[in-house]
Structure 1
Amino acid sequence: MGSAFFEMNIATTGLFAAQRGLAVTSNNINNAATKGYSRQVLDQRASSAMPGYGRGMIGTGVDTTQVRRVRDSYLDQKMWGQKPALGEYKIKAEQNSIIESVFGEPSDTGFTKVFDDFFTAIDNLSKLPSEGERQEALRQMSISFTKYYNSAAQKLTEYQRDLNFEMKAKVEEINNLVTRITSLNDQIYRAELNGDIANTLRDDRELCVDRLSQIVNIDAKEVDVTRPDGKVDKQFQIKLNGQVLVDGTYGRLLKVSARTEGQKKNPEDADGLYDIKWEDGLPFYMDDKDLSGELKGIIDMRDGRGSSSFTMNGEQQDPSITYKGIPYYINKLDQFVQTFAKSMNDVYNQAGTDGGQVYTDLTLDDGTIIKIPKHALFSYTEGNGKTPVSIENMLLKDAKGDIIVDPVTGAAQIDYSKMTAKQFSVSDTVYEGASNIRTNFEHDPVDGSNPNPSSNDLLLALGAQKNNNKMFKDGDPKDFMISMFSELGINAKEAAMYQKTQKNVTTTIENQRLSVSQVDPNEEFINLVKYNQAYQAAAKVLTTMDGIYETTIFKLGNW
């Protein structure tokens, strides 16, 4: 009778093991489409055998030891190491493509179109210099030409602001993920105090780390920590670019703060751009060359000015971010309008083909009379951003605000460093009326009028500037812009290439990871059959032993 009870106990362990196997299999099938879920397997082993005292040890059934998730931590580490580059170049590919759309090349609204239309209008007027319609056409084409640069620079500034808010959103996402991970660390610790493995919680945590690793480069690992009582606990830690981000249940958060005017990184920056800092007050190094991820892509595109040094607050400075981002292209546009406007204005203000300049007298507040350029084709706007400033407000001044005058000629110069693509415009005289456009070098020394309005020598000289290959280091005006477009195109293709490469790498790693952790429906269906048969077999043993038990007690006992 003791033997019968013993065998029923063995059958019972098999029954419970099969039942638990069916539960694990059912859970796998139901989570086959759950993102980040790792398939689970039931580990079991033979129970400790009873000694047979020379007749052979007797098995006591089966024990289920744990429900284990199938996960390769090495593949996780590989994925977390590759995702930052994917995130960085994903942002750069997208943003460089957006910048390309700003310039509209090639299109009917792009640089080539407005540039050619401007010089075509000059050429048309040169054929009939006194025709009012052609004068107005040149005025309109000049305005359209300046508005192209106004619009391009303004759009780039808007995109910079968009990136600024996106950077803030990324910081908030990092903080949310850190908070979530520390909460999961606490839940995992509590769930595993009694020796269980918190499979689902660990899956959730690694899903968070997957996303975090694409936003910023991290080093995540689980380390053994010895408690004062000598017990060893596992503690999950994350470092962000070498700085502690998560340590068990402790999470370190970031914050953003708006820059003041004196804190600008580049002269071209929009107002109020954010800097990233640690909430505990320690600095976060945004310009660290080892930083990567989506956050790095945003920082490079928002703050990158290339390698050209610049002057800010009266001091020569080097850019902190040397990637060619939005400030770089705004700076290139500023360089173009400054150089182009100076070249065109120098020709437009000539008194003759020998290059002599036309000056007018300007009386200063102290009564001093100085000479200033009389004519300008291009100017810039201030204040309301619509009306061009007069020539006297464009003059070169010293740090005290006094006009700088050449001691030999007694003449002042236009300060083209104040001119930006965003404020680029036609001059106030041209803006007021097309009939004010000069067409020849001759002029009345008193009122500046043209005694010979049918002459076109000035227009021909202006038209020749289209192919002036000495205007820029890159060649003529179109060469300068084409060079900038080429740089942008190269950067866009490079970013897209790196993004594609990293996408292939991470896809390969993800496929390797899925081959280990993903639920295979066919395998689970086999497990269903296996555990179902095991359950039925164990139940059959119980039924058989029940029959034996009944015969032993009720029938043999009557003898």
Structure 2
Amino acid sequence: MASTFFGLTIAYTGLQAAQTSINVTSHNLANINTKGYTRESASTKAADALRTYARYGTLGSGVVVDAINQTRDSYYDEKYRNNNTNYGQYNVKNSYMSQIENYLNEFTLKGYSTEYENFFSALNQLDRTPADTSAKNQLINNAKSLTDYFNTLSTNLRNVQVDANNEIKDAVQQINSLAQNISSLNKQINQIQANYGNANDLKDQRNALIDDLSQIVNITVSESDMGNNLTNLQITINGNSLVDGYNYHTLQTVARENPRNVSDAAGLYDIQWENGQEFYIYSDSLSGELKGLIDIRDGCNGEIEKYASTTDAAGNSTYKTDADGNILTETESQKDKNTQYKGVPYYQSQLNQFIQTFASSVNEILNKGVTSDGSAQGISLFVMKENSQALTASTVTVNQALLDNADLLATKYNVSDGEANVDLIVDLINTKDARIYDGGTGSFFLESIVSDMSIDSSKAINFTKNYMNLQTTIQNQRLSVMGVDTDEEAMDLVKFQEAYNLSSKMLSVMNELYDRLINNTGV
């Protein structure tokens, strides 16, 4: 049968259970503002019944606390991380597209469209006074202003590319650091749980790190049971293992030996695993901040800009050049080897295409003419800077000979033509309306660049806002499960306090019984 003092033991277990529940509630309230904290609760169950060998069979032996559980839903974790990945991608694009928009904003800045119009305004003035040296100077200086603007614009875009490239390196380092910390936490958690301890706070730290990782790159998280209260947590990126239990893999950035695109900055990074295995950065399934940075840095609308080449009848390949021998560029479809996004290389290639077409059309006409006094053959207005390989937005400049002597500018076709003959100048003016820029005029071509930029910039803004709103909604849903609610904790505190008081009252009752039994029996 049960011990005479068995009731005291039962009351004591009630005190212990209530005290533990109060401590857990206190821990919840203490961490109410802790980021990533998961609400905990004490799980209780009836203690094993005691066989009494009496008619009633067994007798309850009180209560035990068998676990401290976290109240968390993995479904909301997955939703949050998937959205966090998309938010990270478009937040990066929004940041960089706003920079590109500032450089290409033709509505609030006197940009390349204005410089382009100024060039033809100077031609119209020269049309009135073709032999006037000051009018020639005005045209040449306007041309220099135009080339300087394109040089600066190309440099600014390259700086954006360099910034994105540096952030890619930082993102890779963050991924490696988070992977190392997560694998370390995996080991600590299992060491505690192997001894049937409580590693809930370490799990919160691990989940917070996984949340941070999900913003940088899209991940797949799985956790399997290994037995003996141990688990194996795995994280993969595009099917490649990043974290596997206590082990983790790292990524490396390797500078490219040769630029992919003509106007790319030198030393842009490719990514590979530490064992040399390729990390395919142009995968359609890649997402997160890393994807956004790669799109901005490498995006050329599914193409690659390279030096234009041609093959002769003998099968020999040579570079395509304009009439002045300047190497030209062209784009080649690389849909499987590049991102479809319109990033910095795309806008660089568009500017290069415009400059090459514009300079060639102007130079071709000037080279056919002679100076206003008929003393010299016409020379090119637009040339490459020294030590340049191709005519691009960053290398174009105005012929120094014309800057030194404006009278070397051709204004007519034939020596026999009078100084007032303006056929050559009229042909230059007509190039403005010539549909030689992908079937459109120069003005429309420049406007299309702004249009492309505006569409992508607006898309980045809208998607960033949408995913931010979704993030707030999903986080609220997640917090409704895992978050600490002051009202709920206050009610629990009262409930557990009442349970503690009742167990204490039971001890008092038992004390009175034992006093009667021991001290007063037989008196």
Aligned-partner Cα distance in 2 for 1:168–1:544: 70
Aligned letter for 1:427?
N
Aligned-partner Cα distance in 2 for 1:507–1:232: 34
Aligned-partner Cα distance in 2 for 1:191–1:43: 19
Aligned-partner Cα distance in 2 for 1:350–1:25: 90
* TM-superposed deviation, 1:60: 1.8
Percent sequence identity is 36
Out of 388, 395, 416, the position equivalent to 1:423 is 395
| Residue of structure 1 equivalent to 2:206 | 205
Out of 289, 293, 299, the position equivalent to 1:298 is 293
Aligned-partner Cα distance in 1 for 2:375–2:363: 13
* TM-superposed deviation, 1:342: 0.7
CA 1:479–1:460: 2 relative to 1, 3 Å: same
Q: Does 1:509 align with 2:513?
A: no
| Residue of structure 2 equivalent to 1:269 | 264
| Residue of structure 1 equivalent to 2:16 | 16
Aligned-partner Cα distance in 1 for 2:307–2:413: 39
Aligned-partner Cα distance in 2 for 1:232–1:50: 28
| Residue of structure 2 equivalent to 1:256 | 253
Q: CA RMSD in A?
A: 2.6
Q: Does 1:527 align with 2:499?
A: no
The DSSP-based 3-state class of the residue aligned with 1:26 is helix
Aligned-partner Cα distance in 1 for 2:255–2:59: 76
Deviations 1:381-403 (A, max 9, x none): 124x8xxxxxxxxxxxxxxxxxx
TM-score by length of 2: 0.88
Aligned-partner Cα distance in 1 for 2:308–2:241: 35
Aligned-partner Cα distance in 2 for 1:333–1:292: 29
Deviations 1:246-281 (A, max 9, x none): 1100000011111113xx322221111111111112
| Residue of structure 1 equivalent to 2:507 | 542
Q: Is the 8 A contact 1:4 1:545 kept in 2?
A: no
Structure 2 counterparts to residues 151-170 of structure 1, below 5 A = 151-170=152-171
Q: Does 1:439 align with 2:411?
A: yes
CA 1:474–1:36: 2 relative to 1, 3 Å: farther
Aligned-partner Cα distance in 2 for 1:275–1:2: 75
CA 1:488–1:503: 2 relative to 1, 3 Å: same
| Residue of structure 1 equivalent to 2:450 | 485
CA 1:474–1:490: 2 relative to 1, 3 Å: farther
The DSSP-based 3-state class of the residue aligned with 1:192 is helix
| Residue of structure 1 equivalent to 2:385 | 381
Deviations 1:427-473 (A, max 9, x none): 222222334333333448xxxxxx854554433332222222x2212
Structure 2 unpaired stretches of 5+: 310-316, 318-330
Q: Does 1:461 align with 2:427?
A: yes
Aligned-partner Cα distance in 1 for 2:403–2:195: 82
The DSSP-based 3-state class of the residue aligned with 1:95 is helix
* TM-superposed deviation, 1:513: 1.1
Aligned-partner Cα distance in 2 for 1:279–1:24: 43
TM-score by length of 1: 0.83
Aligned-partner Cα distance in 1 for 2:113–2:304: 29
| Residue of structure 2 equivalent to 1:397 | none
The DSSP-based 3-state class of the residue aligned with 1:538 is helix
CA 1:501–1:110: 2 relative to 1, 3 Å: same
Q: Is the 8 A contact 1:254 1:278 kept in 2?
A: yes
Aligned-partner Cα distance in 2 for 1:489–1:91: 16
* TM-superposed deviation, 1:317: 5.7
Q: Is the 8 A contact 2:43 2:65 kept in 1?
A: yes
Aligned-partner Cα distance in 2 for 1:474–1:149: 22
Q: Is the 8 A contact 1:474 1:480 kept in 2?
A: no
* TM-superposed deviation, 1:483: 1.2
Q: Is the 8 A contact 2:303 2:332 kept in 1?
A: no
Structure 2 counterparts to residues 76-475 of structure 1, below 5 A = 76-225=77-226, 233-261=230-258, 264-308=259-303, 310-311=305-306, 318-319=333-334, 320-321=337-338, 322-351=340-369, 374-383=378-387, 418-443=390-415, 452-468=418-434, 470-475=435-440
Aligned-partner Cα distance in 2 for 1:475–1:12: 90
* TM-superposed deviation, 1:523: 0.5
